Structure 1
Amino acid sequence: MRSWSESKKAKPHIELIPMIDVMMFLLVFFVLISLNVIPSQGLKTQLPSATTAQALKPQTKAIVTLLPDTIQLDGQKLTIDQLLQNLKGQKQQGQNLSIIINSDKGVAVEQLVQVMDRLRADGFTSVSLAARKP
């Protein structure tokens, strides 16, 4: 009887180099995002400085961004009437709604006062201005 020798089967093994490449890409993206090299959603504004600026406490809040030609609520471009309707909808869902106005340095004081006046006239009492420490 004739017998053939069995061919040697290659043992399965895990390729480490592609796995290391994937981990390095994940690490690079994590570092870039944490260092704000990749910009987040929203508009860049230059906040005015205030020596009495305080850190925000966790709360139900809505961030209104004012630019010379734009009003935004949490990144959505709106008119003043749409802004008030959205804020009224958020206020019905939660008990207290704090509104933070993130106004650019180039915004006219008149526009800022008009927005604040409309907010207070519609019953929003907790309105704050965002500032950064110098």
Structure 2
Amino acid sequence: MRSWSETKKAKPHIELVPMIDVMMFLLVFFVLISLNVIPSQGLKTQLPSATTSQELKPQTKAIVTLMADQIQLDGQATTLDQLTQTLKSKQQDGKPVAVIINSDKAVAVEQLVNVMDRLRTDGFTSVSLAARKP
């Protein structure tokens, strides 16, 4: 009598090499994002340095970015007139809004003073200038 040999079934196993590749790509992207190698939204500015700069307490804040040719409020392009209107709408809860001016080194002092003067005229008393520590 003839007998047929049974074929051995291969046990399923998980391939680790593709999983390791995916994990390494994820690790690389997380490191690049945490190091700010991948640029975030907004304008790239070079802040002036100040030895007495300090971190602000958590509060309602708005970041105004000044470049030589444009103004942005929290990453959105705006004009000087629209800036104060948008800030007043943020201030509806009765809580004061802390305005942080993120001005590039190349911005003329006159433009910076105009923005600060407009903000103070419209009732925003908490206006700060962003700077980096040397």
The reply to whether TM is greater than 0.5 is yes
Task: Mark the CA change 1:14 to 1:6 in structure 2 (over 3 Å): closer, same or farther.
Answer: same
Q: Aligned partner of 1:82: which letter? A: Q
Q: Aligned partner of 1:96: which letter? A: P
Aligned counterpart, 1:42: 42
Q: Give 1:90-101 correspondences, 5 Å limit.
A: 90-93=90-93, 95-101=95-101
What RMSD in Å do the two structures reach over aligned CA positions? 1.8
- Structure 1 residue runs of 5 or longer lacking an equivalent are none
Q: Is the 8 A contact 1:60 1:94 kept in 2?
A: no
1:59 equivalent to 2:59? Answer yes
CA distance in 1, matches of 2:96, 2:8: 73
CA distance in 2, matches of 1:94, 1:25: 46
TM-score (norm 2): 0.89
Query: How much has 1:57 moved relative to structure 2?
Result: 2.4
Q: Is the 8 A contact 1:66 1:104 kept in 2?
A: yes
1:106 equivalent to 2:106? Answer yes
Count of residues in Structure 1 that have an aligned counterpart in Structure 2: 134
3-state SS of the aligned residue for 1:92?
Answer: coil
3-state SS of the aligned residue for 2:128?
Answer: strand
Q: Give 1:70-109 correspondences, 5 Å limit.
A: 70-93=70-93, 95-109=95-109
Aligned counterpart, 1:126: 126
- Structure 2 residue runs of 5 or longer lacking an equivalent are none
Query: How much has 1:2 moved relative to structure 2?
Result: 8.2
CA distance in 2, matches of 1:6, 1:113: 88
Q: Percent identity?
A: 82
3-state SS of the aligned residue for 2:45?
Answer: coil
Q: Aligned partner of 2:61: which letter? A: K
